[in-house]
C-alpha cells in the first residue's frame, strides 16, 4: 500500500508541475536602440505587460563598456525590455518604438549625434526578425514619413547594463530630465508626426448610451463577450475597400487590404490597422482580442493565418462598423485615403 501511495504522490507532483509550467507566463526579451537611453527607458516603463526596462550598451567590440568609452568601442545606447507576451505582444512593443524615435535620421537622434545614438531593432529570434521587418515595411508604406526608414534590424549581441545613475533617470531626476527632453526637440517632433493619441479621441459611452446605440447582438458581443453565428454575419463576405472601426467608439481597427477569406465564417484579417489599438488577453488557452479605448470584445487571434504575419484575427462582425473608401473623408477618417490610392483619386 505504501508503495502505491508513493507512486501516487510522485504522479500528482508531476501533474502539478506540468500544470504550473503551462499556466505560468514565460517572459521574453526585446532590445531597442533609439538615441538617448533615458528617453527610451521612460517610453517603455509602465506599459502593461512590461516587467523591466534596463538601459545599457550593445553591438560593440570588447567587454564591459562604460559611459566614458562605449562610443569609442562602437557600442550603441540601447534598452533591454523584459515583457510578458501574454499581456503585450512584440508587435505592440515595435509600435511603441517607432513612436519614440525619428527612424529617418542616419546621424543620431535629435540633439544627440553620432553612430552610438542611431536607431536599431535587435531581434532575438526569427519570429522577432520577421515582425520587425514587416513593421518597418508597414511604416514606410504608410506615408507617415517622406524620407526612407533607415532603422537597422540586426541580430542581438551581448548587452551590458549601464551604470546605476543611468537607470530610471527620468524618475530619479525629473527636473533635469524634463529640461533635457524639452531641449532635445523629441516631443515637438513626435507631436508633429503623430499628433494627439488615439485614447483622447475615442471614448466608450456610458452603458445607458450603449444600450440605445447598439443592437442587442452587438451589445452581447462587445460587452458580454458573446460570439455571433458564423457565415450569416454582416461582414463575413464583404470585399469592398475601406476600414473597420470599433462599433462602440469608432476607434480604427482593421483595413480591407488585410482581410482574407478564412472559411471560418467570420471576418478575418492578417493584422490590425493600428497594433496599439488592440489589446490581447489570455482566454482559456486562446488569445482574446479587445479594443484599447472602449475595451470591446472583438474576437480572437490564431497562428494559422497566411503570410506575411501567419496570423488570423478572427473578429465578430457585430463588434465592427465598416466605412467604405468613398465615405472615409465624410466620416472623419480622411487620413486613411492614402492607403487606397486608386480608389481615393476621385475624392
Determine phi and psi for 239, rounding to 5 degrees.
-120, 5
Q: Is 80 exposed, middle or buried (0-12, 13-18, 19+ CB in 10 A)?
A: buried
Can you name the residues that pair with 290 across neighbouring β-strands?
A: 279, 297
Catalytic member of 314, 323, 325, 328 = 314
314 a catalytic residue: yes
Give the integer Cα–Cα distance in Å for 1 and 171. Answer: 62
Find where cell 509550467 sits. Answer: 21
Active-site entry in 36, 50, 53, 273: 36
Give the list of residues 6+ apart from residue 86 with CB closer than 8 angstroms, or none.
Answer: 25, 49, 280, 282, 287
Question: Is position 39 annotated as part of the catalytic site?
Answer: no
What is the rounded distance in angstroms from the CA atom of residue 242 to the CA atom of residue 230? 22
Q: Which residues are catalytic?
A: 36, 314
Amino acid at each position: 500500500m505504501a508503495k502505491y501511495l508513493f507512486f501516487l504522490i510522485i504522479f500528482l507532483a508531476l501533474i502539478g508541475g506540468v500544470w504550473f509550467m503551462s499556466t505560468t507566463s514565460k517572459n521574453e526579451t526585446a532590445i531597442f536602440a533609439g538615441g538617448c537611453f533615458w528617453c527610451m527607458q521612460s517610453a517603455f516603463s509602465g506599459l502593461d505587460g512590461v516587467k523591466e526596462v534596463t538601459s545599457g550598451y550593445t553591438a560593440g567590440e570588447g567587454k564591459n563598456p562604460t559611459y566614458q568609452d562605449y562610443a569609442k568601442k562602437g557600442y550603441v545606447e540601447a534598452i533591454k525590455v523584459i515583457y510578458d507576451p501574454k499581456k503585450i505582444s512584440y508587435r505592440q512593443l515595435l509600435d511603441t518604438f517607432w513612436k519614440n524615435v525619428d527612424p529617418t535620421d542616419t546621424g543620431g537622434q535629435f540633439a544627440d549625434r553620432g553612430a552610438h545614438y542611431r536607431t536599431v531593432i535587435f531581434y532575438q529570434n526569427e519570429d522577432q526578425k520577421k515582425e520587425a521587418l514587416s513593421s518597418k515595411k508597414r511604416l514606410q508604406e504608410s506615408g507617415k514619413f517622406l524620407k526612407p526608414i533607415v532603422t537597422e534590424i540586426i541580430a542581438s549581441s551581448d548587452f551590458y547594463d549601464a551604470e546605476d545613475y543611468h537607470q530610471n533617470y527620468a524618475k530619479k531626476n525629473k527636473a533635469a530630465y524634463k529640461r533635457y527632453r524639452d531641449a532635445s526637440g523629441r516631443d515637438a517632433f513626435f507631436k508633429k508626426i503623430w499628433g494627439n493619441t488615439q485614447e483622447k479621441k475615442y471614448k466608450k459611452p456610458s452603458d445607458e448610451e450603449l444600450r440605445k446605440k447598439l443592437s442587442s447582438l452587438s451589445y452581447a458581443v462587445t460587452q458580454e463577450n458573446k460570439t455571433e453565428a458564423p457565415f450569416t454575419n454582416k461582414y463575413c463576405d464583404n470585399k469592398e475597400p475601406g476600414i473597420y472601426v470599433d462599433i462602440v467608439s469608432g476607434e480604427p481597427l482593421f483595413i480591407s487590404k488585410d482581410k482574407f477569406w478564412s472559411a471560418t465564417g467570420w471576418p478575418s484579417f492578417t493584422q490590425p490597422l493600428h497594433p496599439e489599438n488592440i489589446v490581447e488577453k489570455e482566454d482559456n488557452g486562446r488569445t482574446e482580442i479587445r479594443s484599447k479605448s472602449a475595451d470591446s470584445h472583438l474576437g480572437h487571434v490564431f497562428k494559422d493565418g497566411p503570410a506575411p504575419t501567419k496570423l488570423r484575427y478572427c473578429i465578430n462582425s457585430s463588434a465592427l462598423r465598416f466605412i467604405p473608401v468613398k465615405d472615409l473623408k465624410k466620416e472623419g477618417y480622411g487620413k486613411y485615403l492614402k492607403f487606397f490610392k486608386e480608389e481615393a483619386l476621385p475624392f
